[in-house]
């Protein structure tokens, strides 16, 4: 496997600054898309929802997928996340003398990340959250019966990502953005959303995309057990 400047990179992932509420929801709930939360020990935290495939560099360079620009103990290219759908592998190419710790153990080569893995590079801490793979669930929300498959929850999680940030006015992602982020085709995303729209309570009305996002977040549809 080749690393370095010539290695293929993942599609640029969007950084979201987390407020306390968004951080609490990520800590307490399961997720349907891989996400990394990171920041300085005493500074603001950010989240990156990982794309469906490719690689993200972790390093001090501002061009890194996960930029730790404040940390002089981190190399410009410190480690690499390889994303294979819902599986994420951390590679330490050995460029930094300080190394990388995952759950307190030094990485020598590569390690597959598990949900809630604690990653330490230099003075920075990162937390990886990974999705669960479970069967479709049917729940009753306010006397309304809803069935959501794992794939639909991934689409909902992508759609609702801006609602977990400290930027309430952030625009919801397009179908193309969701497709690129979670590794599905745009047509598949559109089909999942149409199925979910049909489950919204009440008659069809304008603004159903925003309505679906707010409804899913409020009713706990982003996780299997709510």
Tell me the pLDDT of the chain (226 aa) as tens digits.
Answer: 444 444 444 445 666 777 666 666 666 555 667 888 888 877 778 888 888 788 899 999 999 999 999 999 999 999 999 988 778 999 998 888 888 999 888 998 899 998 888 899 988 989 898 875 554 454 444 555 677 887 788 888 888 877 766 555 568 889 998 887 777 778 888 898 998 888 877 666 778 888 888 877 776 666 654 4
Q: What pLDDT sits at residue 115? A: 84
What architecture (CATH level 2) is domain 137-218?
Orthogonal Bundle (1.10)
Q: Which CATH architecture has domain 15-129?
A: Sandwich (2.60)
CB atoms inside a 10 Å sphere around CB 130: 22
pLDDT of residue 224: 54
User: Where do the domains of the chain lie?
Assistant: 15-129, 137-218
Q: For residues 164 and 152, is the Cβ–Cβ distance under 8 A?
A: no
pTM of the model: 0.55
Q: Rounded CA gap, 199 and 185, in Å?
A: 22
Res 48: pLDDT: 86
CA 138/CA 158 separation, integer angstroms: 20
């Amino acid at each position: 496997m080749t690393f370095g400047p010539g290695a293929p990179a993942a599609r640029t992932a969007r950084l979201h600054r987390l407020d306390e509420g968004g951080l609490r929801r990520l800590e307490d709930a399961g997720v349907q898309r891989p996400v990394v939360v990171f920041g300085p020990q005493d500074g603001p935290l950010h989240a990156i929802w990982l794309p469906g495939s490719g690689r993200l560099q972790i390093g001090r360079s501002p061009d890194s997928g996960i930029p730790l620009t404040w940390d002089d103990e981190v190399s410009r290219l410190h480690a690499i996340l390889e994303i294979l759908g819902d599986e994420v592998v951390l590679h330490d190419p050995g460029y930094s003398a300080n190394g990388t710790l995952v759950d307190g153990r030094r990485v020598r080569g590569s390690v597959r990340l598990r949900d809630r893995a604690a990653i330490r590079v230099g003075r920075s801490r990162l937390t990886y959250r990974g999705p669960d793979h479970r069967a479709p669930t049917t729940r009753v929300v306010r006397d309304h019966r809803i069935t959501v498959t794992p794939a639909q929850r991934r689409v909902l999680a992508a759609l609702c990502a801006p609602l977990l940030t400290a930027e309430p006015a952030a625009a919801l992602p397009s179908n193309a953005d969701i497709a690129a982020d979670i590794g599905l085709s745009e047509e598949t995303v559109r089909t999942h959303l149409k199925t979910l729209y049909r489950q919204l309570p009440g008659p069809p009305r304008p603004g159903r995309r925003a309505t679906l996002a707010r409804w899913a977040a409020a009713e706990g549809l982003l996780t299997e057990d709510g």
